[in-house]
């Protein structure tokens, strides 16, 4: 391992943003500088900043000050820049091209001894492919969906749960005043962690998640039971990836291979079903990217800091091809190859789901 300022490491953020990304960047820069005297080069807009003409900037403790509490990422990000299948336009035609070799050349030209990739399953997959091409990669897990199995929790998740819970608290009072049903669509593509935790914390009456396909009749029975009682209003939390039994996820946009690029619409579909069967006044609130933005909560700032410190330590230990992982109480690491194999989904028979059902929450089953 090179010593002092001769050692240059690159850092990028890929995929959807999450509160806490800046905390990781800040911790990487400070640990590199304070403990090792290394230089950190920030790469803009994920792997796009390494494709073709590079887009980078040296990061110092000075120019990364005051960012711990800021949402988003000072480096920018994209969830469409895969160098192994890059979209290129030539003579008016759009096609896919493997630009990974040019990325490897750029990493060498920038004299980056190691590369820290902060990302979700997509970006970590790309990171692992670069590791297999000889790049000294370290992964840092990130996703508000909390769906990575190799780490106990990802930063951004708790902030998203706080945001969604706060929205539910507010929606309860207006739903009650108008004796309405309010359907709240939250993020959660394959995993319903945000819906489940915010639903429990925000005392939702119905929680619909991708892992438990729902039966509209069960949902409507629950709402009608409440309608007969003193409190006529109901709050339904639905994860964007939830689907009815025998039905499909609500997809807005797919790519050429059929992968769902954008989800949306399940909240409206559920609302329509409730309206039809119960005759009640129903409204829909889609929280969308509000859950991804804003200031990270205190525990996400701490987790992000610990992840950033560990990423630099892994470089010092030359543990390349590894991803930082939180296994309470320790922050440790797992091979990237293993980390990207399995998603962390809500188990329909878990204690958390059972606890919610015990206090009367309906999962549409």
- Active-site residue numbers? 145
Please provide the distance, in angstroms rounded to a whole number, between the alpha carbons at the two ends of the chain.
56
Cα pseudo-dihedral 51, 55, 56, 57, rounded to 10:
180
Give whichever of 134 and 247 is closer to ligand F6P, judged by the CB atom.
247
What the block records as the tokens of 310 is 């560990």
Residues 314-353 that bind ligand F6P (CB under 6 A): none
**Residue 122 engages ligand F6P in binding (rule: CB under 6 A):** no
3-state helix, strand, coil in the chain (%, to 5): 40, 20, 40
Give whichever of 157 and 214 is closer to ligand F6P, judged by the CB atom.
157
Binding mask 144-183 for ligand F6P (x = CB under 6 A): xx--------------------------------------
What does the alpha-carbon distance between residue 78 and residue 132 come to, in Å, rounded to a whole number?
A: 23
In the complex, minimum distance from the CB of residue 347 to ligand F6P, in angstroms, rounded to a whole number:
19
Give whichever of 225 and 255 is closer to ligand F6P, judged by the CB atom.
255
Give whichever of 192 and 273 is closer to ligand F6P, judged by the CB atom.
192
In the complex, minimum distance from the CB of residue 299 to ligand F6P, in angstroms, rounded to a whole number:
19
The answer to whether the beta carbons of residues 176 and 164 sit under 8 Å apart is no
Alpha helical stretches, state H, 67-192: 100-109, 121-132, 157-178
The answer to whether the beta carbons of residues 115 and 87 sit under 8 Å apart is no
What the block records as the tokens of 238 is 């639905």
In the complex, minimum distance from the CB of residue 51 to ligand F6P, in angstroms, rounded to a whole number:
19
CB under 6 A: which stretch of 53-61, 142-150, 276-284, 325-333 binds ligand F6P? 142-150
The answer to whether the beta carbons of residues 53 and 158 sit under 8 Å apart is no
In the complex, minimum distance from the CB of residue 357 to ligand F6P, in angstroms, rounded to a whole number:
24
In the complex, minimum distance from the CB of residue 213 to ligand F6P, in angstroms, rounded to a whole number:
18
Tally of CA atoms within 13 A in the half-sphere of 165 that contains its CB = 15
Binding mask 239-268 for ligand F6P (x = CB under 6 A): -x---------------------xx-----
Query: Of 39, 136, 172, 189, which one interacts with ligand F6P (CB under 6 A)?
Result: 189
**Which residues on neighbouring strands pair with residue 307, listed in sequence order?**
none
The answer to whether the beta carbons of residues 274 and 220 sit under 8 Å apart is yes
The answer to whether the beta carbons of residues 274 and 183 sit under 8 Å apart is yes
Residues 14-53 that bind ligand F6P (CB under 6 A): 16
| Contact residues for ligand F6P, defined by CB under 6 A | 16, 79, 120, 143-145, 187-189, 240, 262-263, 292
């Amino acid at each position: 391992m090179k010593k002092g300022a001769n050692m240059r490491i690159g850092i990028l953020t890929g995929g959807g943003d999450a509160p806490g990304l800046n905390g990781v960047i800040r911790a990487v820069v400070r640990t590199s500088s304070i403990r090792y005297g290394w230089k950190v080069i920030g790469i803009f807009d994920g792997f796009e900043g390494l494709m073709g003409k590079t887009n980078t900037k040296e990061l110092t403790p000075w120019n990364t000050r005051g960012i711990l509490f800021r949402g988003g990422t000072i480096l920018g990000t994209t969830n469409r820049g895969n160098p192994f299948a890059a979209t290129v336009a030539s003579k008016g035609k759009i096609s896919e091209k493997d630009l990974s070799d040019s990325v490897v050349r750029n990493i060498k030209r920038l004299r980056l001894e190691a590369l820290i990739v902060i990302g979700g399953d997509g970006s970590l997959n790309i990171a692992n492919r670069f590791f297999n091409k000889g790049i000294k990669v370290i992964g840092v897990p990130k996703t508000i969906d909390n769906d990575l199995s190799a780490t106990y929790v990802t930063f951004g998740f708790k902030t998203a749960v706080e945001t969604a819970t706060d929205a539910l608290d507010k929606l309860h009072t207006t739903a009650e005043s108008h004796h309405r049903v309010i359907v709240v669509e939250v993020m959660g593509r394959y995993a319903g962690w945000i819906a489940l935790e915010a639903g429990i914390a925000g005392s939702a009456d119905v929680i619909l998640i991708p892992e438990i396909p729902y039966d509209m009749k069960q949902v409507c029975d629950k709402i009608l039971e409440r309608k007969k009682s003193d409190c006529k209003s109901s709050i339904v939390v639905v994860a964007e990836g939830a689907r009815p039994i025998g039905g499909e996820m609500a997809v807005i946009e797919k790519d050429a291979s059929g992968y769902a690029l954008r989800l949306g619409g399940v909240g409206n579909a559920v609302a329509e079903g409730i309206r039809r069967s119960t005759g009640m006044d129903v409204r829909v609130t889609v929280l969308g990217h509000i859950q991804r933005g804003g200031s990270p909560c205190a525990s996400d700032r701490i987790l992000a800091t610990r992840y950033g410190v560990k990423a630099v330590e892994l470089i010092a230990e030359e543990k390349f091809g590894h991803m930082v992982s939180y296994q309470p109480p320790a922050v440790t690491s797992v091979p990237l190859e293993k980390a990207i194999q399995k998603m962390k989904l809500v188990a329909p028979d878990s204690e958390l789901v059972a606890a919610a059902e015990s206090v009367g929450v309906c999962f549409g089953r």
